[in-house]
Amino acid sequence: MSSDDKPTGGTLERTDVIARTRLLEGKYRLGRLIGEGGMGAVYEAEHEGLRAKVAVKLLSEHGSLDQKSVARFRREARAMGAIRHENVVSVMDTGTDEDNIPFLVMELLEGESLAAMLRRERALSPGLSCWIASQILAGLGAAHAQGVIHRDLKPGNIFIARQSDGTHKVKILDFGISKLGSDSHTLNVTAEGALVGTPNFMAPEQITGEGAPLDARVAIYAVGVLLYRMVTGRLPYVGKTPDELYRKVLAGQVAPPRRRNPDIPPELEAVILKGMALDRNGRYQDAASFRAALHEIAPTLPGEIPSTTDAPRMSQQLPIPTPAPITGDPSYVRTVAAVPTALRAAGVVSGSHQAVALPTAVVKRRRTLWLALAGAALVLAAITIIAVVATRKSAAHVPTGPVLRYGVVQYSAPEKVTGQHRPIADYLQEKLDRPVELVLAADDKDLIQKLFDGDVQLAALSAYAYIRAARRNTPGLVLLAKPVTSGGPSYQGLILTRADSGVRTLEDLRGKSFCYVSPGSSSGFLYPRALMRQAGIDPDKDLGPSSFGQEHLNTLRLLDRGQCAAAAVYAKTLEDGDKAGIPSERFHQLAATERIPYDAYTVLARTPPEEVNAITGALLALEPGSPLARTVLGHAKGEITGFTRALDTDYDSARRVEQYVKADAKH
CATH H-level superfamily of 493-593: Periplasmic binding protein-like II (3.40.190.10)
Query: For the segment 538-596, what is each residue's pLDDT rounded down to a tens digit?
Result: 999 999 999 999 889 999 999 999 999 999 998 888 888 988 999 988 999 998 887 78
| Backbone phi and psi for residue 191, each to the nearest 5 degrees, phi listed first | -65, -25
Which is more confidently placed, 651 or 72? 651
CATH H-level superfamily of 404-485+598-651: Periplasmic binding protein-like II (3.40.190.10)
Q: Kindly compute the dihedral angle of the four CA atoms of residues 517, 523, 529, 530, in this order, to the nearest 10 degrees.
A: 160
Q: How far apart are CA 544 and CA 45, in angstroms?
A: 64
pLDDT of residue 269: 95
Strand 514-516 versus strand 566-570 pairing type: parallel
Which of 334, 384, 361, 270 has the alpha carbon at shortest distance from 632?
384
What's the CATH class of domain 111-300? Answer: mainly alpha
Query: Over 70: is that where the pLDDT of 187 sits?
Result: no
Banded pLDDT at 663 (limits 50, 70, 90)? low
Pick the CATH number of 17-106 from 3.30.200.20, 3.40.50.300, 3.20.20.150, 3.30.420.40: 3.30.200.20
Banded pLDDT at 300 (limits 50, 70, 90)? low
Which of 425, 436, 430 has the alpha carbon at shortest distance from 396?
430
Domains 111-300 and 404-485+598-651 belong to one CATH topology: no
Query: For the segment 239-292, what is each residue's pLDDT rounded down to a tens digit?
Result: 888 888 888 988 888 999 999 999 899 999 999 999 999 999 999 999 999 999
DSSP, residue by residue, 521-560: -IIIIIHHHHHHHHTT--TTTTS--EEE-SSHHHHHHHHH
Banded pLDDT at 193 (limits 50, 70, 90)? very low
Residues 6+ apart with CB under 8 A from 85: 138, 139, 142, 143
**In this predicted structure, which of 213-222, 470-479, 516-525, 549-558 has the lowest mean pLDDT?**
470-479
Q: Is-catalytic flag, 152?
A: yes
SS3 489: coil
DSSP, residue by residue, 318-365: SSSPPPPPPSS--HHHHHHHHHHHHHHHTT-S-SSS-EEE-TTHHHHH
**Could you tell me the residue ranges of all domains in the chain?**
17-106, 111-300, 331-393, 404-485+598-651, 493-593
Arithmetic mean of pLDDT over the chain: 76
Catalytic residue among 97, 152, 599, 664: 152
pLDDT of residue 644: 87
Banded pLDDT at 356 (limits 50, 70, 90)? very low
Query: For the segment 401-427, what is each residue's pLDDT rounded down to a tens digit?
Result: 789 999 998 877 788 888 889 999 999
Cα angle value 300/301/307 (rounded, 5°): 145
Instruction: Provide, rounded to the nearest whole percent, the portion of the chain with pLDDT above 70.
Output: 73
Query: Over 80: is that where the pLDDT of 92 sits?
Result: yes
Q: Mean pLDDT, to the nearest integer, of 63-83?
A: 73
| Backbone phi and psi for residue 199, each to the nearest 5 degrees, phi listed first | -50, -40
